[in-house]
Structure 1
Amino acid sequence: MNTATKLGVYALGLAVVFGGTTGIGKIAGPVGATADTGQGGHGGHGGDTGTPVPGGLQISQGGYTLVPRRTTFNPGELTDFRFTINGPDGRPVTGFKPLHGKRLHLIIARRDLSGFQHLHPTEVGGGVWAIAVVLPKAGTYRFFTDVQPEGAKEQLTLGTDIFADGRFEYTPLPKQEPVSQVVDGYEVTLAGQLVPGKSSKLTLSVRKNGEPVTNLEEYLEAYGHLVALRQGDLAYLHVHPDGDPGDGKTKPGPDITFYAEAPSAGAYRLYLDFQHEGKVRTAEFTVQAATSGAPVQQAPEEGHSHSH
């Protein structure tokens, strides 16, 4: 049984608003998108009831389908990964609206929330997207595509499982810590508490060698880029800070504030991309959403070995 089958899919939602120091941010992902029941059962729950389904849990939505050309990799090998986004007519889509400076974003994470990657494939013709990818370890990975086809009413996050063959070794979710150590002397501090059902203020502060970074560089039309994945089903959110570089009010660090609302207790992994001195770095955090004083129940481990 593969990892995706063991974990299952839970139709729960997470609403996150990511903001700069000047105010509450704007959601950049398809939070609360209604399930498309005409896509062969990929949509989870909803449809007849209109229950929203979080982004990334569906391979098809609104008549658009993520179609990978391959679903298996050899761990550690650089591999050509190609895929299309097929439209309601079954043909690859060639027209996309730019989202944060790119026509398509590819996000990758292993099912245990390790191995995060944020990539930008190239369209090589006929609606086919291509990029060289390395999946470092064996296991099941979730591939997410953030797109807005020109005919679609909204931005879509479509997801599919890709497998790296071999013996799977589970990586436990790191404990919640206030500081994320990043390479090259950078560290990012996270302050605040995530409480289910409430708007929770969380503040990120970027430092280098102990000194505040006050000149963060623009990356994807913003000073920060956040992906949030929930442990268990990998419900996906893709958010950006409020304000724009150069607007005269949005400060380029060191502090970035976002407001998060989680409808239920659980563990979430946050991945913050930021650019400084010409290089993009990623800070990762585990955030436990729990009512004050209540213990958080994490998803069970998948076992310590797995072969696909």
Structure 2
Amino acid sequence: MNKLITAITLTSILALTQACSSLSTIPNAEESKPIVKDNHDDHSNNHEKYSNDNPKTALGKSIAEAKLMTPLNMLPNTIVPLLINVQNLNGEPVKTFETFQEKLMHLIVVSEDLQFFAHLHPDYQDNGQFKVSANFPQAGRYTLFSDYKPAQSPQQISVLKTQVGGESPSATPINFDRTKTFGTAQINLTSSQAHIKANEEVTLTFDLKDSGTNQPLTDLQPYLGEKGHLVIIKKSPPLTASDYIHAHALDDGSVGKVAFVTKFPKSGEYKLWGQFNRNGKVVTADFWIHVRD
């Protein structure tokens, strides 16, 4: 597996409307595109009312696209079902998928202000449809990165958008601390460069220790087949595909340390979420970093 994963250039379009209705042209931060008419028969078996978010998928070797359906008028702190329908570029359901990183689909969900993060694994239903339950803790816009691999095809990433009703929370100051405690794990983030610069390769290392003994963690286990996973998103609302980076851990033997190699395409503030499996429990460690020109 390639250990250097850089930003994946994608485009996305947000369309929020009532289920079983025609969708209109909705502009986003990058471009405006027409949205095809929704087919009423496709949703006749759904017992809940859904809104329909229709994105574009990856440029280049894109052979599929995902469409997000959510209940209408979603409220914060309410568990809701999400439906993701995967189609080929002719609008036909993609029916078979390959397992990668131990799952058929990985879904990264973040709020627009990057205060909320979730890594979900939707269950495959049938006929190209995945379903997962989600709980959005605050009002506002959310971006979902759907990662899947149709059978005998390249891995695909679709960028989806949705919104939760209510008053959005006020902005939270950015905390650039490099050492934090998550449960009983104290984690220190270091970089191979004193000052991280855009478009330059950098190694990011998470040093995990027991917060009580200050000794390296010895109970780390593979998480989805690897030593850890790292998601990085640039603070740039409204979020777009160019703000997203997904990296995989290096095969390093250091006890309690997990390293990733990546590049940042632009200067600015980025938030990182490193995920590690500590004896069966996933620890998610979040940090902010600044990238210079």
**TM-score if structure 1 supplies the norm length?**
0.72
Instruction: Check conservation: 1:141, 1:163, Cα contact below 8 A.
Output: yes
- Rounded Cα–Cα distance in structure 1 between residues aligned with 2:260 and 2:220: 17
- Rounded Cα–Cα distance in structure 2 between residues aligned with 1:92 and 1:253: 45
- Rounded Cα–Cα distance in structure 1 between residues aligned with 2:200 and 2:262: 8
Deviation readout 1:145-185 (Å, 9 max, x if unpaired): 01122254x322211111110011133252211113212x1
Cα distance, 1:168–1:33 mapped onto 2, change above 3 Å: closer
Aligned to 1:297: none
Any unmatched runs of 5+ in structure 2?
13-24, 32-54
Aligned to 1:199: 201
Deviation readout 1:204-232 (Å, 9 max, x if unpaired): 10111222113311110011111111111
Alignment of 1:149-164 (within 5 A): 149-150=150-151, 152=153, 154-164=154-164
Q: Secondary structure at the match of 1:70?
A: strand
Q: 1:195 offset after TM fit, Å?
A: 1.5
Alignment of 1:1-308 (within 5 A): 25-27=3-5, 31-33=7-9, 44=30, 59-61=56-58, 62-70=62-70, 72-150=73-151, 152=153, 154-172=154-172, 174-183=174-183, 185-192=184-191, 193-209=195-211, 210-232=214-236, 233-234=239-240, 235-243=243-251, 250-251=252-253, 253-291=255-293
Instruction: Check conservation: 1:215, 1:252, Cα contact below 8 A.
Output: no
Deviation readout 1:83-102 (Å, 9 max, x if unpaired): 21111221221222222111
Name which structure has the greater RCO, CA cutoff 8 Å, separation 6+: 1
Q: 1:82 offset after TM fit, Å?
A: 1.2
Aligned to 1:3: none
User: How large is the Cα RMSD of the aligned pairs?
Assistant: 2.7
- Rounded Cα–Cα distance in structure 2 between residues aligned with 1:65 and 1:102: 18
Cα distance, 1:165–1:84 mapped onto 2, change above 3 Å: same
Count of residues in Structure 1 that have an aligned counterpart in Structure 2: 245
Instruction: Check conservation: 1:114, 1:171, Cα contact below 8 A.
Output: no
- Rounded Cα–Cα distance in structure 2 between residues aligned with 1:96 and 1:237: 23
Q: Secondary structure at the match of 1:130?
A: strand
Instruction: Check conservation: 2:81, 2:132, Cα contact below 8 A.
Output: yes
- Rounded Cα–Cα distance in structure 1 between residues aligned with 2:9 and 2:77: 35
- Rounded Cα–Cα distance in structure 2 between residues aligned with 1:74 and 1:218: 35
Deviates more, 1:67-76 or 1:278-287: 67-76
The letter of the residue matching 1:253 is: V
Higher strand share: 2
Deviation readout 1:14-68 (Å, 9 max, x if unpaired): xxxxx9xxxx9242x7x445769xxx888947xxxxxxxxxxxx63332422211
- Segments of 4+ in structure 1 off by > 4 A? 32-36, 40-45
Cα distance, 1:43–1:103 mapped onto 2, change above 3 Å: farther
Cα distance, 1:70–1:35 mapped onto 2, change above 3 Å: closer
Cα distance, 1:181–1:169 mapped onto 2, change above 3 Å: same
Deviates more, 1:85-94 or 1:109-118: 85-94
Instruction: Check conservation: 2:103, 2:121, Cα contact below 8 A.
Output: yes
Q: Secondary structure at the match of 2:86?
A: strand
The letter of the residue matching 1:230 is: K
- Rounded Cα–Cα distance in structure 2 between residues aligned with 1:157 and 1:173: 30
Instruction: Check conservation: 1:144, 1:158, Cα contact below 8 A.
Output: yes
- Rounded Cα–Cα distance in structure 2 between residues aligned with 1:271 and 1:258: 12
Deviates more, 1:112-121 or 1:171-180: 171-180
Instruction: Check conservation: 1:212, 1:254, Cα contact below 8 A.
Output: yes
Deviation readout 1:217-257 (Å, 9 max, x if unpaired): 111001111111111135212221133xxxxxx42631122
**TM-score if structure 2 supplies the norm length?**
0.75
- Rounded Cα–Cα distance in structure 1 between residues aligned with 2:254 and 2:133: 32
Instruction: Check conservation: 2:10, 2:56, Cα contact below 8 A.
Output: no
The letter of the residue matching 2:101 is: H
Any unmatched runs of 5+ in structure 1?
1-18, 46-57, 244-249, 292-308
Cα distance, 1:35–1:229 mapped onto 2, change above 3 Å: closer
